[in-house]
Amino acid sequence: MMQKLDVEAVRTGDRIALARTISEVENQTREGRLALSGLVSHTGKAHLVGITGSPGTGKSTLVSQLAKEFRNPPPAFTPQKVGILAVDPTSPFSGGAVLGDRVRMRDLAGDEGIFIRSMASRGALGGLSAATAAAAEVLDAAGYGVILIETVGAGQDDVEIVRLAHTTIVVEAPDLGDEVQAIKAGILEIADILVLNKADLPGVARAERALRSALELADATRPFTENSGHHRDQVKTSRIMQKGWRPPLIKTIATSGQGTAELYQAIMAHKQHLMDDKLWDDKNAARLTNELEHHLRENLYGNWQKGIDPDTYQRVLKSVLSHRLSPQQAALDLLKQPK
Amino acid sequence: MMQKLDVEAVRTGDRIALARTISEVENQTREGRLALSGLVSHTGKAHLVGITGSPGTGKSTLVSQLAKEFRNPPPAFTPQKVGILAVDPTSPFSGGAVLGDRVRMRDLAGDEGIFIRSMASRGALGGLSAATAAAAEVLDAAGYGVILIETVGAGQDDVEIVRLAHTTIVVEAPDLGDEVQAIKAGILEIADILVLNKADLPGVARAERALRSALELADATRPFTENSGHHRDQVKTSRIMQKGWRPPLIKTIATSGQGTAELYQAIMAHKQHLMDDKLWDDKNAARLTNELEHHLRENLYGNWQKGIDPDTYQRVLKSVLSHRLSPQQAALDLLKQPK
């Protein structure tokens, strides 16, 4: 048996214990699960902030600057320990596509109050967002007051990961083309805060106009409640109504730090809004319910795989591969088989 | 009971029956499943061609031009009926983000040999690629010789959908920024054919150099076989070794049709390559196995949901929401409950 993970060391700020626990959790080991059970009573305090947007918008630089804001906030606020989870669902193969981003984050490495972790796709649909959620729980229990979850890309995966967050920031940049603006309508609908980064580039005025129009449109169509991908039947709380919150548009130049203090203030204002309207607990509940369902699904399939007779499976699979049986029907047939 | 879908009408080219069958299949109704069972013996002939790439690369225009090439090929080739599945995983909410693309496709609408269908995200992880696979099967059985599957974005979802295809085309464009090139390393690894569209824009020479470097890198690291997202344990055939195929880079200007004939030839060359090396059947097998697993997972969870005592579920969920039990442990506890 592996050495038991030191839950108390994680709690008291041991970075090596923290890194090791996140690894075990990410790899879904028994040790990781037991560590989470030991840590779970200390969770529920961290502010999860999701940052998403297309490649080229300068997200990573913005995240670095934001981390500094949380470390050295204006006088009215308390400095927080900052966890950064950099999630890359776009590279299931090489896993190293965001190397440049990691390099840029090195300027944060000297600060013991910042913990950075890259989460690469593990190939399993939904697995990445579950691993990210669990890593966030470990950081939460370890006293990281804010966890910045940065995702690359603009697909369903990002939406799933961003749903973990209490506060979702969508980053845009000028001159990514008109088509981008149109296509991002869906992404804008999930934005609590919209950032127009690279505000020193030409075309910023035009981009700002386009984004303000898109925000108005998104605001008009913003659903009151919305079904989570995982919980169509049981739980309908994933998208929480945000009465009274109109997503602000903040212009930043992350490379120089311009506008990032304003962004920090907007994030804190959104947190306050969530607290005031009891939405904070609702968001936590939606996230945890999603996680529970994910693990139920994984375990159900894993258990079934262990129980099925391999010959039976191969026989049915062969019928599918020879176009005698549709995959849909084959699944029903297999589940009627005695195990 | 609903009226039975007319499988024979689908087979003999009735477009209304075809559209209706795809809808039922997409909505995962019993009628749709029965129709697929009736059609499955007629599948296995269509060439599935996936087209992916970032917003702004002009994919939709390229797909329209490609459809025309397949309808009016050079003398050595046979014209094919063309199915187009336009898949948008980026907009789980509004579903209307690719409206502009649909409008552009209207110039194909006069041709009875072209069938266009938009597939929007249904909110369920993995559900979109399963729905797309099933729609492709219906088109296959209906005699559509080539099915162009166009996806928006660059996330894991696209990778999943693109894995359906026999031939994967990755579309790039000049001036999308250096970061894009770097981040797309993972996507390039899945390209059978790389297209540099908008080849009339400035920066095309620089983009071409960058893409050729990236292709060489991808070629060097291209895995021989690779685990499918759905089949880590049972099936490892999703990524088929492509010995002897070096992805060509083709420059196009889709708006004027320049280069699309060459792209057509490259697609047909890749098909021949797949046939010669028996990879065609392997790709079909990987796709069908993925589909089977998807339906197994969905059914297992659906059945479990029906069987669980709601009070038990709520009690365990409450422990999770109050941070007394981790979602991981809660799933194990629930699965030990008698149903």
Structure confidence by residue, pLDDT tens digits, A80-92? 999 999 886 554 4
Contact state of B305 with A153 under an 8 Å Cβ cutoff: no
Contact state of B327 with A292 under an 8 Å Cβ cutoff: yes
Q: What CA–CA distance (Å, rounded) separates A197 from A91? A: 24
pLDDT level of residue B66 (50, 70, 90 thresholds): very high
The distance of B215 to chain A (nearest Cα, Å) reads 13
So what's the pLDDT on residue B106? 66
The distance of B57 to chain A (nearest Cα, Å) reads 9
Which residue in A56, A92, A98 is closest to B180 by CB distance?
A56
Contact state of A323 with B44 under an 8 Å Cβ cutoff: yes
Mean pLDDT calculated for residue range A250-261: 96
B233 pLDDT exceeds 50? no
> B-chain residues within 8 Å CB-CB of A183?
55, 90-91, 97-98, 152-153
Residue B133: name the closest of B118, B121, B149 by CA. B149
So what's the pLDDT on residue A134? 92
Model's pTM, two decimal places? Answer: 0.77
Of residues B181 and A195, the one with the higher pLDDT is A195
Contact state of B292 with A320 under an 8 Å Cβ cutoff: yes
- Mean pLDDT rounded to a whole number for chain A: 81
Q: How far is C-alpha B156 from the chain's CA centre?
A: 11
- Mean pLDDT rounded to a whole number for chain B: 81
Long-range residue pairs from A283-286, CB within 8 A, at least 24 positions apart, any chain: A283/A165, A283/A166, A283/A240, A284/A44, A284/A166, A284/B321, A285/A237, A285/B321, A286/A163, A286/A228, A286/A235, A286/A237, A286/A238, A286/A239, A286/A240
Which residue in A42, A133, A332 is closest to B299 by CB distance?
A332
So what's the pLDDT on residue B32? 92
Q: What CA–CA distance (Å, rounded) separates A213 from A221? A: 13
Residue B189: name the closest of B239, B145, B132 by CA. B239
* A311 in B contact zone (CB under 8 Å): no
Cross-strand pairs, A170 = A52, A194
Contact state of B96 with A182 under an 8 Å Cβ cutoff: no
Which residue in B158, B190, B230 is closest to A155 by CB distance?
B158
* B27 in A contact zone (CB under 8 Å): no
Interface of A with B in 83-122 (CB under 8 A): 89-100, 121
The token pair at A334 is 């297999």
Phi, psi of B251 (to 5 degrees): -90, 130
A280 pLDDT exceeds 90? yes
Range scoring the smallest mean pLDDT among B25-29, B64-68, B76-80, B321-325: B25-29
Q: What CA–CA distance (Å, rounded) separates B11 from B174? A: 43
φ/ψ bin of A245: left (φ > 0), alpha (ψ from -120 to 50), beta (otherwise): beta
Strands A47-53 and A167-172, sheet pairing: parallel
Contact state of A40 with B121 under an 8 Å Cβ cutoff: no
Q: Residue A169 in contact with residue A192, Cβ under 8 Å?
A: yes
Phi, psi of B189 (to 5 degrees): -65, -20
So what's the pLDDT on residue B153? 57
Contact state of A155 with B160 under an 8 Å Cβ cutoff: no
Q: What CA–CA distance (Å, rounded) separates A167 from A126? A: 20
Interface of A with B in 242-281 (CB under 8 A): none
A235 pLDDT exceeds 50? no
Contact state of B233 with A301 under an 8 Å Cβ cutoff: no
Contact state of B154 with A158 under an 8 Å Cβ cutoff: no
pLDDT level of residue B59 (50, 70, 90 thresholds): confident
So what's the pLDDT on residue A224? 42
Q: Which of A328, A334, A336, A339 to mutate to test the interface with B (most CBs of B within 10 A)?
A: A328
Contact state of A289 with B320 under an 8 Å Cβ cutoff: yes
Summarised one tens digit per residue, pLDDT across range A290-309 is 899 989 999 999 999 999 99
So what's the pLDDT on residue B4? 67
Q: Which residue of A has its CA nearest to B183?
A: A97
Phi, psi of B146 (to 5 degrees): -135, 140
Mean pLDDT calculated for residue range A247-253: 95
Q: How much is the ipTM here?
A: 0.83
The distance of B281 to chain A (nearest Cα, Å) reads 9
> A-chain residues within 8 Å CB-CB of B91?
183, 185-187
So what's the pLDDT on residue A26? 85
* B321 in A contact zone (CB under 8 Å): yes
Which residue in A91, A234, A326 is closest to B36 by CB distance?
A326
So what's the pLDDT on residue A156? 52
Q: What CA–CA distance (Å, rounded) separates B231 from A124? A: 8
Mean pLDDT calculated for residue range A218-245: 45
Q: Which residue of A has its CA nearest to B223?
A: A93
The token pair at B332 is 């194990």
* A152 in B contact zone (CB under 8 Å): yes
* A54 in B contact zone (CB under 8 Å): yes
Mean pLDDT calculated for residue range A233-254: 66
Q: Residue A123 in contact with residue B232, Cβ under 8 Å?
A: yes
B101 pLDDT exceeds 80? no
B258 pLDDT exceeds 90? yes
So what's the pLDDT on residue B53? 79
Q: Residue A10 in contact with residue A25, Cβ under 8 Å?
A: no
Summarised one tens digit per residue, pLDDT across range A13-33 is 999 999 999 999 888 889 999
Summarised one tens digit per residue, pLDDT across range A197-229 is 999 988 888 888 878 877 776 666 554 433 333
The distance of A75 to chain B (nearest Cα, Å) reads 32
So what's the pLDDT on residue B125? 45
Of residues A119 and A157, the one with the higher pLDDT is A119
A96 pLDDT exceeds 80? no
**How many CB atoms are closer than 10 A to CB A75?**
4
Range scoring the smallest mean pLDDT among B70-79, B207-216, B225-234: B225-234
Mean pLDDT calculated for residue range B36-43: 95
Which residue in B90, B294, B299 is closest to A187 by CB distance?
B90
Of residues B10 and B104, the one with the higher pLDDT is B10
B284 pLDDT exceeds 70? yes
DSSP per position, A296-333 = HHHHHHHHHHHHS-HHHHHHHHHHHHTTSS-HHHHHHH
So what's the pLDDT on residue B225? 36
* B238 in A contact zone (CB under 8 Å): no
Of residues B119 and A332, the one with the higher pLDDT is A332
The token pair at B203 is 């920066």
Residues in contact with B310: Cβ distance below 8 Å, sequence separation at least 6, in sequence order:
none
Residue B305 in 3-state DSSP? helix
So what's the pLDDT on residue A236? 32
Q: Residue A335 in contact with residue B307, Cβ under 8 Å?
A: no
Summarised one tens digit per residue, pLDDT across range B75-86 is 999 999 999 998
